[in-house]
Structure 1
Amino acid sequence: MDEAISSAAKIPRLSSTITRRTCSLMGVQIVGTGSYVPSNVVTNLQLQDQCPGCDPDWIEQRTGIRERRIAGPDESTCDLSVAAAQKAMAQAGVYAKDVDLLVVGTFTPDYHCPSTACLVQDRLTLDAPAFDISAACSGFMYAVTTAAQYVATGNSKLALVIGADCNSRIVNQTDRTIAPLFGDGAGAVLLAPGTMEQGFKSYQLAADGSGCAMLDRPAGGAKRPVDVAALEAGEHFLRMDGRNVFKWAVRTVAESIEVVLESAQMTIHDISLLVLHQANQRIIDAVATKLGISPDRIFNNVHKYGNTSAASIPLVLDEANSLGMIERGDTILMCGFGAGLTWGTSLFVW
């Protein structure tokens, strides 16, 4: 049985059309944003020294990434999360006693057990339930829409949602096909009840597990614990079929955006700000071409941070918010996509 499952997983079914199922959830607002990245900057030139074959110009041309932030030996996903959360709380002018729910999106938890959310809850001294959501680079989208359910139903007055990952811990830093792509960081938002004109006008969460082998980490779980053989084979590191992930991402992101726009009876030109997962500038540009919009309409910071997985979207949100680019009533398009395969797309009315 296991062999059959393993063999089938290597042949992605990847439906030619994505789901058209969407949801709506109004009455929720974002009242604060915050972010944090490690102080350690690793440029493409510096990466060349530790990763043979990494040409700085080639990296920038193929990915748009010029540098990334790497967590220090004394920093973890919890540490990044706490720092981002504190900034969001300070911006919103709220205190630990006000937060009654914590959801952390991450696929690089400090431990398999306990959850990173519990560690963050303790550090922030929150009186709140806390749990992780694992959806890789879609982690923030899964986490924020989950927390929004509690807020919209009156079961949370102030929810803290964090997207955070220490990708450097699971990436082989000598592998030139994957090491240049990833960085570490965290972003946070605070959700509170809003008017019925605020919230998720339309959103879609989806998954296609038939593509799991396109982006995975074979060893480290219950099925394949890390042992000497796994370490020697490098199976505890992240693997990616870059070419096929690229093609899947461009098609899926563009189609998912079109589906949520149609559901909301809007067009791409009605959007105030486009926030896409910062995986690769070429993916972002290809999606813009498919949607028929100028790439400069999409707020990007991938050149500074690389792919920060679940932190990617809240990092962009906080940067755009800090620059005064978001106003009350604006419709923000957010889309995360990654391992699973998973994706989450939303039209959020600020």
Structure 2
Amino acid sequence: MFLHALGHFHPPTVLTNAFFEELGLETNDAWIMERVGIRTRHTVLPLDYLRETRNRDVRAAQEAAQFSNAETGRRAALMALERAGLKPSDIGMVVAGGCSPDECIPAESNRVAALLGIDAPAVDLQSACSSFCMQLHFLTGMRPERLPEFVLVVNMENSTRVVDYTDRSSAVLWGDGASAAILSPRVPGRWRITETLLAGDPAGADKVRVPRVGHFTQQGGEVQKFAIRRAGETFQELRSRYLASHPGKGQADVTFIGHQANLRMLESVQRRCEVPDARHRYNVHVRGNTGAAGAPGVLSEHWDDPSVGDAVVLSVVGSGLTWAGALLERTLPRL
């Protein structure tokens, strides 16, 4: 499976740490930076709406949002299509997923396909924040002849709509954004997905939740320990597979892109796995936790950056509990 292009989109409204002080959350920039390392994040919600309501009613947030999930997905997809030199009519399937869909039905992928004018099958595959690597796992495992020439994978994450802005522990984490990837099982592209991993522990299903009509909740301490352990194990396993098939390479030749939950968590994984700073890419410090759009969004922001190297491991975790990873190897010379 080849990765031809990535795209991303973040809504223009920014939530600063000073804004949370203004809301009276008994926090400040130093407290937030020390604990999670996030300075800014984006939101589809107007700041005046948050000031007035603290987002107590998630149904009202749906109405107040300045962008729908599908619109943010469309914008990320347009970037990916332009980078790939493709048109919407070239796409033969749309796959989508994420943490907080606009509707139970239809599938969010249908909404994105409709906005783009794509006349093709559209399905959702989601496992919360681990959705992107889970989607890659399933798509790379399919018989190539059963897939179209090009597949669009979109992850739309506008979870600020389900955040309780009287709860500082969750309010400071989340940001909104979307990512898009164009894959092909036959046409060579810039990257090849050579390995994937998918695992889960359903006994932890209650540890991270967004009810049908309600706010995001999590058992923060337990979830962070789980995320650090599983993200590290996934990265190390995929890095080992890469090194086993490339004898001349060393650990410092593999770039780590983790689930963008918070910077302190990512730094802990980086230390445990002995990843040098030059091989760690992230954007959580300015984007916040953008769920399933986080890891692919990071690589999208570095799409034309040759310093990313020739091998990248995405290692992500999510509600369920699930964890997944993907090894990408560069197929074309660095620019």
SS at match of 1:131: strand
Q: Equivalent residue for 1:185?
A: 177
List alignment gaps of at least 5 residues for structure 1: 1-27, 221-225, 227-235
Q: Which moved more, 1:125-134 or 1:141-150?
A: 141-150
Q: Equivalent residue for 1:210?
A: 203
Asked if structure 2 preserves the Cα contact closer than 8 Å seen for 1:51 and 1:175, the reply is no
CA distance in 2, matches of 1:299, 1:198: 17
Q: Equivalent residue for 1:200?
A: 193
Cα shift at 1:54 = 2.3
Opposite residue 317 of structure 2, the aligned amino acid is: F
Q: Equivalent residue for 1:92?
A: 84
RMSD: 2.1
Cα shift at 1:249 = 1.0
CA distance in 2, matches of 1:315, 1:147: 19
Asked if structure 2 preserves the Cα contact closer than 8 Å seen for 1:68 and 1:183, the reply is yes
Q: Which moved more, 1:47-56 or 1:302-311?
A: 47-56
Opposite residue 103 of structure 1, the aligned amino acid is: V
Q: Equivalent residue for 2:52?
A: none
Asked if structure 1 preserves the Cα contact closer than 8 Å seen for 2:238 and 2:313, the reply is no
CA distance in 2, matches of 1:65, 1:196: 34
Asked if structure 2 preserves the Cα contact closer than 8 Å seen for 1:186 and 1:314, the reply is no
CA distance in 2, matches of 1:206, 1:122: 32
SS at match of 2:172: helix
Q: Is 1:309 the counterpart of 2:291 in the alignment?
A: yes
- Once the two structures are superposed, what CA deviation does each residue of 1:133-191 show, in whole Å capped at 9, x if it has no partner? 22111011112333334573452200111122111111111211111000000011111
Asked if structure 2 preserves the Cα contact closer than 8 Å seen for 1:215 and 1:240, the reply is yes
Opposite residue 329 of structure 2, the aligned amino acid is: V
Asked if structure 1 preserves the Cα contact closer than 8 Å seen for 2:40 and 2:285, the reply is yes
Identity %: 28
Q: Equivalent residue for 2:118?
A: 126
Q: Equivalent residue for 1:344?
A: 324
Q: Is 1:277 the counterpart of 2:277 in the alignment?
A: no
CA distance in 1, matches of 2:8, 2:165: 25
Q: 1:161 to 1:262 in 2, by over 3 A?
A: same
Q: 1:198 to 1:166 in 2, by over 3 A?
A: closer
CA distance in 2, matches of 1:209, 1:48: 37
Q: Is 1:70 the counterpart of 2:43 in the alignment?
A: yes
* Residues matched between the structures, number: 306
Cα shift at 1:195 = 5.5
Q: 1:79 aligns with which of 58, 62, 71?
A: 71
Q: Is 1:29 the counterpart of 2:2 in the alignment?
A: yes
SS at match of 1:189: strand
Asked if structure 2 preserves the Cα contact closer than 8 Å seen for 1:268 and 1:291, the reply is no
- Once the two structures are superposed, what CA deviation does each residue of 1:281-327 show, in whole Å capped at 9, x if it has no partner? 11111111111222442111111101000110121011111434456
SS at match of 1:181: coil
CA distance in 1, matches of 2:108, 2:313: 28
Q: Equivalent residue for 1:300?
A: 282
Q: Equivalent residue for 1:46?
A: 19
Alignment TM-score, normalising by the size of structure 2: 0.85
Cα shift at 1:255 = 1.5
SS at match of 2:199: strand
Opposite residue 336 of structure 1, the aligned amino acid is: V
SS at match of 1:32: strand
List alignment gaps of at least 5 residues for structure 2: 46-64, 331-335
Q: Is 1:258 the counterpart of 2:236 in the alignment?
A: yes
Cα shift at 1:118 = 0.6
Asked if structure 2 preserves the Cα contact closer than 8 Å seen for 1:142 and 1:344, the reply is yes
CA distance in 2, matches of 1:251, 1:298: 17
Q: Is 1:239 the counterpart of 2:217 in the alignment?
A: yes
Cα shift at 1:199 = 2.8
Q: How does 1:107-126 map to 2 (within 5 A)?
A: 107-126=99-118
Asked if structure 1 preserves the Cα contact closer than 8 Å seen for 2:133 and 2:196, the reply is no
Asked if structure 1 preserves the Cα contact closer than 8 Å seen for 2:149 and 2:187, the reply is no
Q: 1:144 aligns with which of 136, 140, 145?
A: 136
